[in-house]
Amino acid sequence: MGLPSISSLLGDKSNETISQVPQISVLLRNDTSTLVSRSNSNAPRASPLPRLSLNTSMPNFIYSDLETATNYFDKTPYRNCQHAKGRFLGSGAFGSVYSGLNIIDKPIVVKRLYLDNVDIVKIDNPVTKQFRNEVEILSKYRHENLVSLVGYSCDGPTYCLLYDLYVTGGISRGEVSVKLDTFSFGVVLLELITGLEPINEHREGCDLVTHVEEICEEDSIAPLIDLKAGSWFAKHINFAEELYRIAVKCLETKRRKQPTVVEIMAKLIELVSEV
């Protein structure tokens, strides 16, 4: 509601005294501009993200702490040096990845998710669903071939996920290997189904992937199923074939066609629930 006019404040005496009363806007001009300036400088940045209640005990990190840890998400390539400012590791279909230092007792990876070009992210937005699933699933299920989630952030301008950082030996250009290898997990599934070693120089197709491709039809792994492991059937479901379908997707050579870790875990959980 705007300020009332001076004449209405003064009533009938306005004609006599109006010349003696300065304009309110003039009186307030300097003070209001100062107040607005102070307010803008001290106000926290509004987050476009919804308030989430996540089913996890994983630590929730403040976005400003992640900014400090990643040198404000510096785009300079990472050089594996505690004193170098570069933090950028790479980018993919879902976000950009940075190294983070001094936020916990070991180096980490911070994945900063891409948002759709919207002012407000709704709770049913696909990126919110992806973020929720990844936090809630990866915080409960761990595997040596899957990246270890160590925390998350959802109070800033976008969602962030924190993972363990694994650095390969002989680094010359800051090459970093996040232990998230969908292809390797596909190989693990083939080992589980067949009971065969991943490498065997004495068989046709020494690596397991090539061996399976040469022996089996594209849509069935029946000739190589490890029957010594017991029955693969339960409730009319052939779990060996179901796992093989997941493995085939993981072994897709085009990474954009590979399923995400969340999609893999969700399918495995779905299969387990059928038992």
Using CA atoms, how far residue 185 sits from 7, 66, 124, 147, 275, in Å, is 79, 29, 30, 11, 22
Q: Is the dihedral of CA 117, 122, 125, 131 positive or negative?
A: positive
Instruction: Report the distance separating Cα 191 and Cα 216, nearest Å.
Output: 14
Residues 6+ away with beta carbon under 8 Å from 31: none
Burial 196-235 (b: 16+ CB within 10 A, else e): beeeeeeeeeeebeebbeeebeeeebeebbeeeeeebeee
111 annotated as ligand-binding? yes
- Residue 238, classed as helix, strand or coil, is strand
Residues placed in the known binding site for ATP: 111
Residues placed in the known binding site: 111
